[in-house]
Amino acid sequence: MKGKDRPGEEEVLQWLSEVSDPEIPALNVVEMGIVRNVKWNGDVVEVTITPTYSGCPAMRTIEEDIGEVLREKFLDKYTVITSLSPAWTTDWMTDDAREKLVKEGIAPPQKGSADKGLLMGKLRDVKCPRCGSFDTMMVSQFGSTACKSLYKCNQCLEPFDYFKCI
């Protein structure tokens, strides 16, 4: 694809927001901050993605789903590049994405990169996505997926996932 026929990088990015995160289907890979860049290199479109966690098992599916969307738009010449640096941070998630998380019953990560307080052994105030109470406790730092911790609300007594900051 050449010249004025080919879509702009912004437009391609827009298409990619159709690709959902396989582990949190309510969110797409653009608002998650997984898609880092779209660039034309000659007649090849290069999509750069970065894993949330090194071992995120969704990466391969995401790569395939991106390819599928591009092929549907008749962009057959593409490459998906995985880049580790700069390392993904929860700060890249958009405000929209955070709101969607709450609707899914997942407490969104707090802003301000790594949970320094948590790493120093202090717990942060995490708001229950169900009843809004701050009277919550961490059950385990590791939850249903690599990116989440398991919490419990002491008010409504429901367990919930907290998207942990990295």
Partner 1 sequence: MAKDQKKLEYVLRIADNALILGQRLSEWCGHGPVLEEDIALSNISLDYFGQASHLLKYAAEIEEAGNDEDHLAFHRDDTEFRNLLMVELPNGDYAFTIARQFFFSVWYQLFLEGLLKSQDEFLRGFAEKSLKEVKYHVQHASDWVIRMGDGTEESRRRIIQAFADLADFIPECFTTDELDLYAIQHGWGPDASHLKESWQKNVAAVCTEAGLEMPAEGWGQRGGKIGKHTEYLGFILAEMQYLQRAHPGAKW
Give the binding site for partner 1 (CB under 8 A).
Answer: 51, 53-57, 83-89, 114, 118-119, 121, 139-144, 146, 150, 164, 166
Closer CB to partner 1, 131 or 166, in the complex: 166
Please, what is the minimum distance in Å from the beta carbon of residue 139 to partner 1? Answer: 6
Please, what is the minimum distance in Å from the beta carbon of residue 107 to partner 1? Answer: 17
Please, what is the minimum distance in Å from the beta carbon of residue 84 to partner 1? Answer: 4
Closer CB to partner 1, 54 or 155, in the complex: 54
The two three-digit tokens of residue 31, written as one number: 């608002």
Please, what is the minimum distance in Å from the beta carbon of residue 108 to partner 1? Answer: 18
| 67/16 Cα distance (integer angstroms) | 10
| 128/158 Cα distance (integer angstroms) | 9
Long-range contacts of 116-123 (CB under 8 A, 24+ apart): 118/164, 118/165
Beta-carbon-side half-sphere exposure of residue 40 (alpha carbons within 13 Å): 15
Closer CB to partner 1, 33 or 51, in the complex: 51
Closer CB to partner 1, 2 or 120, in the complex: 120
Answer for the pair 92, 33: CB distance below 8 angstroms, yes or no: yes
